[in-house]
Each structure stands twice: as structure tokens, then as C-alpha cells.
Structure 1
Amino acid sequence: MTRVGPGTPMGTVMRQYWIPACASSEIAADGAPLRLMLLGEKLLAFRDSEGRVGVMDHRCPHRCASLFFGRNEKGGIRCVYHGWKFDVNGKCLDMPNVSEADAAKFQPRVHAKVYRTAERAGVVWVYMGERETPPPLPCIEATMLPDAELRVTLTQRECNWLQALEGDIDTSHFGFLHVGSVADEDVDATNMHSVAVTKRAPDFKVTDTDWGTMAGAYRPSADGEGLYWRICQYIFPFWALFPDGTFSDNVTANAWVPMDDSHTMVINFAWVKRTQPLRTTVDGNTIAGLEFRHNFLPNSSDWFGRWKLAQNAENDYEVDRTAQNEVSFTGVTGITLQDQYITESMGDIVDRSNEHLVTSDLMIMQTRKRIIKAARALQDAGTMPPGVDDPEIVNGARGGAYNAPADADWMEEYQAQLAAAIGPARG
């Protein structure tokens, strides 16, 4: 599950899908190329004079010098070693260091290794599979928002993609990692989300879905008349819909894109009109530790130099032990950073033989089984994993929280809540 390089079972699964790779704003027409690490491959992204995007192996097909140092000029990228030039489709446009006769002979035979690209939602998407005609782009709700209603955020995490993603589908950690310092009397009992604090040990329902897996964590509701549900989704190959929001408008998704086996780029797509619950205490103050904080280091041209937080392992994430003892559960500020320092603390790739899984980990167990089953089916029988050829199946996927009658069937209630949900595509 954790290895994603060429030829690995999980890497082969992921290469069946379109992959969100970088922000469109990271590459400018005729501007500097971008080093792009994706599924363990060292690639180069650039935008040509006409605005077309190319993503290719960073090595020049001639003598393997890095095209990162090339000149992005007049419709292609030119290697500075011998002047060979390639367009976004990998076609060799020029071989100026050889005779015209030799160029006419060799030029048609030389192609840079390129991958198909597309742009949507302010992101460059890359298809790294072998199909002559790529499958459709994903239909995940948050990736299809109008640009004016969309916020896209990239953050690099220095650990394996799976342990990073599992934080999104582990709903019981919210009551500890994020709000563990909040006492029952500190939250507004009329807020339906207050039970995430006052009742920190939910029960669970989990199931396979057409697109992956789904879990519902449930507790008695704040009004005592029903159940409070927090729904999360795993969508193949690396998407998570998390429950930190009210279901009716929680249009958001995280793509946990593997850069390699031990580095992950999480790309969050979010509707700007979604509401965020339980951020303040009953007196209106922001819950300690949940203050918004996204302090990025300046991006560099290193393979792993993009979208890194200033609070990281080198400075112990600036954990404040005084604050941890007196006002916040972790001493670390911001939900993103709290999730990051915990999953990175497990190591580059967590040793799962040391785990002791319990009932609150049912979604984790179900999802791992689903991933392994799909990878084996592709490897052994060539069976396409979920959503490759029919991405519209995820139209029925959303995460978030709601109240429901205690005697309602949880899957029927989920469908009823989905039918009543709002969003740019729903009204």
C-alpha cells in the first residue's frame, strides 16, 4: 500500500487515474520550469508560449542532463547542454549541434518522455498511465466548483501518503488532538457539534462503497432526541472527504498525492461558502490551538522544496509546552499542523506491526482491506479499480456532520441528507 514507484502494485493503481500535481499558478508561460516529484518520478513541469502545460521526465533524452536548467522559449524547452529542444508533447523540435542531414534522420526518432496534462480548478492534472486515451477527470464535487467559489491549498507532509490520509478518516481523534483541552461546560450545548467534545468515544458503522469506503461515527445528539453522525469517505486512489463541517454545505476534499514513498502533497479543494463548526467556546473565544495558522517557508527549487510549513520536525513544530499544560491539549497551533506533526511523528512509513487496532479504527481497517483488494485485482486480473472509467459514481459522496432520528437506517438517512444538501451543483 505504501510503495508508489513505477511497477509497484499501488503505484500501478494510482497511475490509472488523473493526479492533481501542482497549482496552475506555479508555472508561467515561458517562465522557469518546475521540479515536480510525483509517484517517485522526477519530472519537470513548464508552460509554453501558448500557455500549454508540459510534464516530462526531467532528463534530456540526448545525454540525460536535467532540463530543469533548460531555456523555456518559443514553444518548447531547450536543453542548455547541446541545444536540443522539445515541445509539451515530447517532440524534438531542434537538434542544432548536428548537421541538417543528421537532424533530419534522428529528430523524428527522439521523443522526451511526457505525460498527458489537463487543467481544472486552478490545478494541473497529470495522467501517468499507459492508455492511449486517458480516462475522464474525476467528478469529486469539490474539484468541480466554479473558480470564484473555490479555494485550493497545497501543503507538503514528510511521511507516507497512507498514514497521512488515514488521519482524515479517523474521526475519533478530533475530540483529543484538536479539542482535547475543552471541557464540557466550555461548549454551547445547543450547538449540535458540541457532542464531539462532550462524548469523545463514538460508535461506528463502516461499509464499502462504489468509490471506496465510508464510515459513520455516531453518538447521542446534543438535544438528546436522536443521533449525531460524522460521515467520512475514502475515494480511490487517495482522496478523503472529512467530517469537519456541517453536512449540508461541507463541499471539500483532500487529495493525498504521493510525491514518493515518504513525501506527500495534500491538495485541499474547498467551497468558500462552507461553514466550519465548533471553533469557539461558549463565550465566543476561539478554542485554544484552533487558531488558523498556515506559515509556509519560501518555496525553493529543490525536489521537495514546495509548500512546506515553517513549523516542522527540525524545530519540533514549535510546540509550546506551557500552552500544552495550561490552555491547549497539544501546545501546537492549527488543525493542519496538529494533524501533520502527529502523522510525521510516526516516521516516514509507519511500522504497522506495532499497532494495536480497536473498534474506533474500523474505518482504517476497512479502507486498508479495500485498497489491497483493488490492487490485487488489478495485478492478477487486470480489473480496473473503482472510478477509473466511471468517475461519476462519486456524485453520491460527501463528508460532514448531521443529526438524525435514532431509529433511522444509517445508509437511508445518509441518502436523505445528501438529497437535502446544498452546494454549487445542488442549489
Structure 2
Amino acid sequence: MTTASESELLTHVGPGTPMGSMMREYWIPAMLSSELKADAPPTRLKLLGEKLIAFRDSTGRVGVLDHRCPHRCASMFFGRNEDSGIRCTYHGWKFDVEGHCLDMPNVPSHMAFPEKVMAKAYKVQERYGIVWAYMGSRAEAPPLPCFEAAMLADDSERNLFCVQRECNWLQGLEGDIDTSHFSFLHMGAMEPADVDQGTYGRYALINRAPEYHVADTDWGTMYAAYRPAETNSTYWRVAHFMFPFWTIPPDGHFADHVIARAWVPMDDTHTMFFHISWKKNTPGLRNKKDGTRIPGASIGNKYLPNDSSWLGRWRLAANATNDYLIDRDSQKTESYSGIDGIHLQDQALTESMGEIVDHTFEHLAISDLMITRTRRRILQAARAAAEGITPPGVDNPEVFQGARGGDFISPNSVGWLQAYSDELRISKNPTGVLRVAAE
């Protein structure tokens, strides 16, 4: 059981909180590179409870700044993005992407002091189609993340999208490390006879209550949910939590399942979900044996138009205001949830818990072993970080390269960690960085 004090530590991410301070030691996915155009108006951006603006200057550089002008605190969202800087329209003070004051046009030149004024600006790098921000206290930022999916160099081979979720980051993330809900929320109306006999996901329909192995890792935590397969073999679904808010879900064949998902806190009650995957991944269970789509298992997202508000980006058209377009007739006949879309089903249920779930109401079971282990690991790391101990993977992000998720079958004679390492050795490696965890 997670206590009220532990729940508060886990869920609150604003400046000065233990969790927020730990997360700031990592590079944070702030937005997609495609969201910013040179010399275009600035974009409002919320990250870890801070109100920021992001803009791309005329030379192509990206700035992520506190939205308040350091002169009189007017919002630079209303500023002019021009000639390699953002100019506050209140008095014309101008700042570059690093926060340096370039101009004080309302102050007589002999009284100006631009060298003494800095806008609060965060370090920024663009890589893999993402704008990354470092919000920590180090003068020199740590290395960028270098786990497998983040290093897909070819844009044409990368799936990359965002979805905003109206709930705390932790309950969004925990949906990705909760494997048993797959057999209910997503596939509860399907029977084993409905799908092709050679489909691995069929075993999750034959046995909807798997057993588990869970372990701490250098990068976070991992689980292996297991069920009997054919004679003398075991069906495994392996997934990971990676610090500070990344997951590698198991929904696909391990051999080519290059994927990672970030649950980035905008504030305590809103999360921006980033999905990165290899387009050549073999998808998980989606079709019946006749080739038709399983009801409710559609892919793709339909969005509301973005607007310029703090929470106006990447919102789904199906949402709490319209009950996620649930179809009760379909729920009776062909879809366990009545909600169309794997991601949307997850979104509906995690948002239904409330903006921040009250963990003291929970009654956790063995099926929640990965969740309890991950909470404990995060709590330990946040408390250690508050004592000055560097969080996992900050200075050695190469440890994340031992993580791959997905499903596979192995002989019963092979232990779970050995089976995992064996699968790593024979898996496809499009980035060249995947390594066997035991090495």
C-alpha cells in the first residue's frame, strides 16, 4: 500500500519538490521539433509546473525561456520573434535563446545595463525530432538519453507523436507497466479461437491471469509476465520502466520491438505523452484470424485543433467531456470497453481515476507487482537525489541500451533473465546500440 506521504512525494513535480528536482537532472522531452518554425510566434509551454515559452529564432536555434520578461514580468508570449531573439512588446527589451539581454530600447544608451540582465533560459538540444530541455542545476548538462528508440536516426523510419493526458504523470505511466489489463480492457471480448493460432497474443487470451518476475535494473525496473505456451515452453511479455518517466511496453514481438514512451509532467494534473517507435516493428495483437480488425483496436489519434493556451496542445477529440465516445451497444456485443482505440481506452481509464489518484483507496494484488516495485524504486531514487546522490542513468545513459520489451516464447529449462538475454542477442538492432544486459 502506498501511504499518503509517499503518494504526495511521487505525484508532485513542481519546483522545489523532491520528484521535480530529480526529474530536472535529466533531459526532458519538451515538444516536437516540428511544432516550432523560424521567426514564428512563440508557443506557450508547460513543463514540470513551470510556465515557459518556446521559440525558434531566425537562425533556427530554439529557446525555452520563463515566460516572464525579467524587466517587469510581462509575458513574452506576446513578444515579437525577430532577428535572432524574442522582444517583449511591453518595453522592447530583447533576449536571445540563451537568455542574454540584447537590447533595452526604452533606456538611454548610457544608462542601459544589458550585460547584467538575463532571462531565465534552459539549455536546449534538438535530436531525433524532439526539442529536449535541461532544467537542472548543473552548469554543464549531462549527456542526452541514448536508449534504443530515441536513437533512430532516420526520420522516415520513426513514428513520433504526442498526446496530452489530463491526469498525473504517474497514473499514465503505470498503465504502460500493467500487463494484465491488456486481456480485459483491450481484448476482453476476444476468445483464443478468434485469433490466429500462431499469434503470440493468443496466450494472453488463453490465460488472463499471468504470473510475474520483477527486478530492479540499472535503468529502473523490469517485469516478465509469464504463462504456459506449448509443451515445455513459456510465453513471456517483458516491459520496463526507465528513469525518470520512460516506459518500454510489451505490445509487440520482442525481436523488433523498438519503442519508448515518455510520460512528461506538464504539471501535477496534466501529462504530455511522447511515443517513439520504429516503423518496421511487428505490431501486437490487433486482427482476428480472418484479417479483420479486432473491435476497439483501431490505431491513430483524432485531435482537437491546437490553441495558444497553456494546455492547448495535442488534446484528443474524444475525451472526458463526451465520455470518450463510448458505444454502449458495441460494448454489449463486440468490444469489452465500447471505446475505439487502444490508446484512447487507456486514456479514458487513467483519467477516470481523477486528476491525481488517491492511492490510499487502492487494494493492490500480485498483478500489481511491477507497479509497487516501480513506485518503491522511484521513491528511493528521489530521496537519494535529495541527499545529493545522482539519479540512475543521468551520467551513464548507456545503461538504458540494455532495455528491450515485447513478447517471445522460450523453453521452460531457461530462466527468465537468461531467456531475456538470449532474445537480446538474436534481436534486430536498427540503431546499433542494443546490448545484452549481462555484458
TM-score by length of 1: 0.98
Cα deviation, residue 58, structure 1:
0.3
Quote the residue 2:3 is aligned against.
Answer: none
The 3-state SS of whatever aligns with 2:224 is strand
The 3-state SS of whatever aligns with 2:185 is helix
Question: 1:192, 1:40 → 2: CA distance?
Answer: 41
Quote the residue 1:303 is aligned against.
Answer: 310
Gaps of 5+ in 1: none
Question: 2:331, 2:234 → 1: CA distance?
Answer: 32
Question: 2:390, 2:282 → 1: CA distance?
Answer: 36
Quote the residue 1:56 is aligned against.
Answer: 65
Measured against aligned partners, the alpha-carbon deviations of 1:362-391 in whole angstroms (never above 9, x if no partner) come to: 0000000000001111112x1111000000
Contact 1:145 1:424 in 2 (8 A): yes
Question: 2:423, 2:300 → 1: CA distance?
Answer: 32
Cα deviation, residue 199, structure 1:
1.0
Q: What amino acid is the match of 2:243?
A: F
Counterpart of 1:98 (choices 102, 107, 119) is 107
The 3-state SS of whatever aligns with 1:101 is helix
Quote the residue 2:6 is aligned against.
Answer: none
2:223 equivalent to 1:238: no
Contact 1:214 1:232 in 2 (8 A): yes
Cα deviation, residue 326, structure 1:
1.0
Contact 1:27 1:47 in 2 (8 A): yes
Matches within 5 A, 1:109-128: 109-128=116-135
2:171 equivalent to 1:184: no
Quote the residue 2:271 is aligned against.
Answer: 264
Quote the residue 1:24 is aligned against.
Answer: 33
Quote the residue 1:155 is aligned against.
Answer: 163
Quote the residue 2:86 is aligned against.
Answer: 77
Measured against aligned partners, the alpha-carbon deviations of 1:29-62 in whole angstroms (never above 9, x if no partner) come to: 1111110000000000001111000000000001
Question: 2:332, 2:300 → 1: CA distance?
Answer: 20
Cα deviation, residue 423, structure 1:
2.9
Question: 1:405, 1:363 → 2: CA distance?
Answer: 24
Question: 1:387, 1:45 → 2: CA distance?
Answer: 27
Quote the residue 2:142 is aligned against.
Answer: 135
Quote the residue 1:67 is aligned against.
Answer: 76
Counterpart of 1:391 (choices 392, 397, 400) is 397
Q: What amino acid is the match of 1:413?
A: A
Cα deviation, residue 293, structure 1:
3.8
Question: 1:202, 1:337 → 2: CA distance?
Answer: 24
Could you tell which deviates more after superposition, 143-152 or 14-23?
143-152
Q: What amino acid is the match of 1:156?
A: Q
Measured against aligned partners, the alpha-carbon deviations of 1:65-115 in whole angstroms (never above 9, x if no partner) come to: 110010000000000110000000101111011101111xx2111110000
Matches within 5 A, 1:350-389: 350-380=357-387, 382-389=388-395
Contact 1:293 1:333 in 2 (8 A): no
2:407 equivalent to 1:401: yes
Q: What amino acid is the match of 1:392?
A: E
Question: 2:68, 2:430 → 1: CA distance?
Answer: 42
Question: 1:206, 1:51 → 2: CA distance?
Answer: 45
Question: 1:205, 1:400 → 2: CA distance?
Answer: 15
Quote the residue 1:255 is aligned against.
Answer: 262
2:224 equivalent to 1:216: yes
RMSD: 0.9
Question: 1:192, 1:266 → 2: CA distance?
Answer: 27
Counterpart of 1:289 (choices 266, 281, 296) is 296
Quote the residue 2:208 is aligned against.
Answer: 200
TM-score by length of 2: 0.95
Cα deviation, residue 307, structure 1:
0.3
Question: 1:95, 1:277 → 2: CA distance?
Answer: 57
Cα deviation, residue 328, structure 1:
0.3
Quote the residue 1:175 is aligned against.
Answer: 183
Matches within 5 A, 1:416-427: 416-426=422-432
Quote the residue 1:321 is aligned against.
Answer: 328
Q: What amino acid is the match of 1:108?
A: E
The 3-state SS of whatever aligns with 2:161 is strand
Question: 1:314, 1:335 → 2: CA distance?
Answer: 19
The 3-state SS of whatever aligns with 2:160 is strand
Q: How many residues are paired up?
A: 423
Gaps of 5+ in 2: 1-9, 435-439
Measured against aligned partners, the alpha-carbon deviations of 1:117-139 in whole angstroms (never above 9, x if no partner) come to: 00011110000001011000011
The 3-state SS of whatever aligns with 1:315 is helix
Contact 1:50 1:75 in 2 (8 A): yes
Quote the residue 1:35 is aligned against.
Answer: 44
